[in-house]
Structure formats: C-alpha cells, structure tokens
Amino acid sequence: MAAFPDGLNEQVGYEFAASQQYVAIAVHYDAQTLPRLAAHFYRQAVEERNHAMMLVQYLLDAGERIAIPGVAAPQTEFADVVEPVRLALEQERRVTDQISALTQLARTEGDLVGEQFLHWFLQEQREEVSSMGALLTVVERSRENVMLIEDYLARETVGDAGADVGAPPAAGGVL
C-alpha cells in the first residue's frame, strides 16, 4: 500500500494549520492598527488555504481517499512585533521540509506523477522562505518604529504577487 496519498492527506492538515496561524498573526497586527502587516498575513492565510485545496484536488483527481484532518489552535499572543514574523519564517521552513519529504516519498514509491505535482510546491516554498526571511530582516531592523515596516510593505511587493498561472488547480476552483 502506498504511503504517498496518506502523506498528502497529512499535508492538507499542515496547510490548513498554516492558514489558521496566518489568520491569527493578521488579527494580531490588525488589533494593533498595522493594516499593511495585517493585510500581508491575511493574504498569506488565503494562500495556505489554497495550497491545502490544491492537495485535495490532486487526491480527488487521483481517486484517492481524502481525510481532512483537524488542526491545533494557532498561537495568538506575541511578545513584540518581530515574534509573529519569526514564527511565520519557522513555519515556512517546516513546510518546506514537509514538502521535500513528500517529494522524496513519491520518488521512493515510483509515483512520478505525484513527484512532478510537488515540484510547483517546492518552488513556491523557496519563494516563501526567501520572502518571509526578507520581511523578518526588515521587521527586526524597524522594531522600534513599526511605521517603517508599514511603509516598506506599502512600497514593496512582498510575498505572493497574485495568481500563478502554473499553479495546480484547487478543489472548488478557488485561487
């Protein structure tokens, strides 16, 4: 029996958990009247949700069993303006490791279609880690004047710049 579909189902849960964590971070910044930081993380939450739905669509297309796992409550309290971004970078690195392990599992099982499907996610994770790392640098540098962070986000395109035409389809046709 192939473990790859089970791994994808598990990853669906990780993506939904990442989405929930980003909502919690966005709400934290929104409550502090930091609208650009909040908007950035609200967008990130939608993106992670869509990643989960892409995995669901793949499983549907492959005729595999789908089990939508529950997720643990996200962290909602943060010590300062830096901690949420640091947490987000750690989360992106963890997801990169998860996707890499799934890709290796697909290869080991000889599931070349599954491995090819995950190549888009690997590239997406490289971009996410780089983008979140850059944001962390800015936030650490500007922690004493959070309006500089807001100005940075107003000037720069950080993170996802819109729908990727090469992205896998998401269940429900949402992107």
Return d(Cα 45, Cα 41) in angstroms, integer.
Answer: 6
Q: What number of CA atoms fall less than 13 Å from residue 122's CA on the CB side? A: 11
Length of the chain: 175
SS (H, E, C) the chain: CCCHHHHHHHHHHHHHHHHHHHHHHHHHHHHCCCHHHHHHHHHHHHHHHHHHHHHHHHHHHCCCCCCCCCCCCCCCCCCCCCHHHHHHHHHHHHHHHHHHHHHHHHHHCCCHHHHHHHHHHHHHHHHHHHHHHHHHHHHHHCCCCHHHHHHHHHHCCCCCCCCCCCCCCCHHHCC
CB 43 within 8 A of CB 159: yes
Domain edges within the chain: 4-67+78-160
The pLDDT-based confidence of 175 (bands split at 50, 70, 90) is low
List, for residues 39-91, the tens digit of each pLDDT value: 999 999 999 999 999 999 999 999 999 999 999 999 999 999 999 999 999 99
pTM of the model: 0.91
Residue-level pLDDT at 172:
77
List, for residues 125-134, the tens digit of each pLDDT value: 999 999 999 9
CATH of domain 4-67+78-160: 1.20.1260.10
Residue-level pLDDT at 159:
63
Return d(Cα 67, Cα 10) in angstroms, integer.
Answer: 8
